[in-house]
Amino acid sequence: MDFKILKRESVYQGRAFKVQKVFLELPNQKQRYYDLVDHNDSVTILPIDKNSDVYFVTQYRLGSESQLLELPAGVVEDNETPHVCAMREIQEEIGMAAENLQLLGDFYLVPGYSNEHMYTYLATGLFPSALNPDADEFLHISRIPYDQVLEMMRSGKIQDAKTLATLALALPILGFPS
């Protein structure tokens, strides 16, 4: 099936994203427009220490109107690679750096209406190395044993999709506790 983008119009420019009206020719030769949230790529990091504790942040999220437990994450800045972004984000959000940063995978978050592409990393060999956090982030840092994290996934206590996806991608590497 062939889909052809005919035209794009910017309809909104916000702090975190843009919205475009995208005119598309469909395989049946009809035309339709779609709204597209144009967002920079992003990263999520699974920082795990030598004791198998996972670092999380809890922060308020407007979309859920609640505080969510999440892995550290952030937006790739212009002219920054996802790898560099991941290193920066764990320093800003949990005050740690990693000797080893392994790409777990990548995926689109909500491709039905956004082009945001997420890269996920496993961070090991953690050591203290803090950067100043973003001024608009109010984070609470916690460390949770890996086996407890898996139970939290199963019981629905973790509700952030990027966190669940990152943890699921890490399962073949980290495994299930015995």
Q: In this predicted model, what pLDDT tens digit does every residue of 21-60 receive, in sequence order?
A: 999 999 888 999 999 999 999 999 999 999 999 999 999 9
pLDDT of residue 178 exceeding 60, the answer is: no
pLDDT of residue 102 exceeding 80, the answer is: yes
Per-residue pLDDT, averaged over 129-139, amounts to: 75
If you compute the radius of gyration of the chain from its CA atoms, what whole number of angstroms results?
18
- Percent of the chain's residues with pLDDT above 90: 84
Grade residue 124 by pLDDT with cuts at 50, 70 and 90.
very high
Residues 119/86, Cβ–Cβ less than 8 Å: yes
Q: For the chain, give the secondary structure using H, E and C.
A: CCCEEEEEEEEEECCCCEEEEEEEECCCCCEEEEEEEECCCEEEEEEECCCCEEEEEEEEECCCCEEEEECCEEECCCCCCHHHHHHHHHHHHHCEEEEEEEEEEEEECCCCCECCEEEEEEEEEEEECCCCCCCCCCCEEEEEEHHHHHHHHHHCCCCCHHHHHHHHHHHHHHCCCC
Grade residue 119 by pLDDT with cuts at 50, 70 and 90.
very high
Q: Within a 10 A sphere around the Cβ of 36, how many other Cβ atoms?
A: 21
Who contacts 91 (Cβ-Cβ below 8 Å, separation ≥6)?
97, 129, 130, 131
pTM, to two decimals: 0.91
Residues 37/17, Cβ–Cβ less than 8 Å: yes
Structural tokens at position 52:
């198998």
